[in-house]
Structure 1
Amino acid sequence: MLPRPGELLHFSEDPSIRTFVPHVAATALQPEAYVWTVDALNSPCYWFPRQCPRVCSWGDGATRVHAVEEAWLPTMRTTALYAYRFAAADFEPFGDRPHAHVATRPVAPLRPPVEVDDLVGLHEEHGIELRVMPALEEHFAGVRAAGLEFSAIRMGNAGVGPGGPFATRR
């Protein structure tokens, strides 16, 4: 599930959102309210349950690799995500080397969301190696040491598991 040219995506476990309103996310590092979307390079980093910790790496001819803790694999196999498509023109790149795009006003998706229900298969379909491991920290250290491009998401949930205290935080 990738955006088409001129589009950006937002992934959610909620299929009923009609208008996205800027807000400050609980995990935000900045105080501004945004609606967040991702481009084709970064969309695969969101093919996971929302609270699932993961390390995604790519670059310099290396195979793209996504790593997830084995405790999260059953949840990954049963979670349905929904991809919302947005016009890229409604968003601005975030940061100097944008990993995401943001809007500071309410935006409506271009059409109803599309269900993304086989997250493991989606990785395989796009040639992304999905590594399932007991813990992520050592792998993450290796990715950083190798100088690869990476995205490490929800690492505060690493070692906690899907039933842990962060499971319901949005």
Structure 2
Amino acid sequence: MRPEPGQVLHFSEDPTITRFVPHVAATARQPGAYVWAVDHDRAPDYWFPRNCPRAMAWTLPTTSQADADRILGPGGGTRVHAIEYHRLGELFSVQLFAYRLPADRFRPFGTPTPHAMVATEPVQPLGPPEPVGDLLRLHADAGIQLRVLGNLWDFWDAVTTSTLGHSGIRLRNALTGPTPTGSDRPP
């Protein structure tokens, strides 16, 4: 499930939204009120239940072969997503929906590389929400490895100290483990 040209997507477990109004997210690290969406490249980051912690990594032009081999594995493709075992049931049972929104109402958000699209005015969906369907199948069809781990933190530590691109979403919901020096793990 990806946006078509001229669109961005908003993923939600709520199929009743008729209008998106800017708001300050509960997890916001910035003060602005926004409507949040994602473009084609970042859509896979949201092929998960909303509160499911996930760690993701992908190759960049500057990624070393050693890091790609170590983290993605031989023949591992160019992207991997990881979740914890106790979240696997949610991945199979969630009813996730995608709202198609007009891309011209949004601007890139995030530095140095944008990770989201935001609007500062209310936005109407282009149509009714679409069921996203089988999240495992989406990953498989996109050639994205999906790893299921006992705990995300060792993987996250390896990824964040590598030359791979990476993103972590809802990591505050991940199981805790030993906290290494300098880590931003939750206590």
Structure 1 residue 68 and structure 2 residue 83: aligned?
Answer: yes
Q: Which of the two has higher C-alpha Rg?
A: 2
| TM-score normalised according to structure 1 size | 0.91
Q: Is the 8 A contact 1:79 1:117 kept in 2?
A: no
Q: Is the 8 A contact 1:78 1:117 kept in 2?
A: no
1:98 partner amino acid: P
Q: Is the 8 A contact 1:80 1:118 kept in 2?
A: no
Structure 1 residue 126 and structure 2 residue 146: aligned?
Answer: no
Task: Output the aligned Cα RMSD.
Answer: 1.2
- Measured after TM superposition, the shift of residue 31 of structure 1 is 1.1
1:86 match: secondary structure: strand
User: Following superposition, which runs of at least 4 residues in structure 1 exceed 3 angstroms of deviation?
Assistant: none
Identity rate, percent = 54
Q: Counterpart in 2 of 1:103?
A: 119
- Measured after TM superposition, the shift of residue 60 of structure 1 is 3.2
Structure 1 residue 51 and structure 2 residue 51: aligned?
Answer: yes
Q: Counterpart in 2 of 1:4?
A: 4
- Measured after TM superposition, the shift of residue 20 of structure 1 is 0.3
String of CA shifts for 1:28-87, please: whole Å, max 9, x gaps: 101111000001111000000000000111123752100000100001100011000111
> Unaligned stretches of 5+ in structure 1?
161-170
Counterpart Cα distance in 2 of 1:140 and 1:47: 19
> Unaligned stretches of 5+ in structure 2?
62-67, 69-77, 177-187
* Number of residue pairs the alignment of both structures matches: 160
- Measured after TM superposition, the shift of residue 116 of structure 1 is 1.1
Q: Is the 8 A contact 1:24 1:34 kept in 2?
A: yes
Q: Counterpart in 1 of 2:155?
A: 139
String of CA shifts for 1:72-123, please: whole Å, max 9, x gaps: 0001100011000111101011133211010111000111111012111111
Counterpart Cα distance in 1 of 2:31 and 2:24: 6
1:146 match: secondary structure: coil
Q: Counterpart in 2 of 1:164?
A: none
| TM-score normalised according to structure 2 size | 0.83
1:134 partner amino acid: G
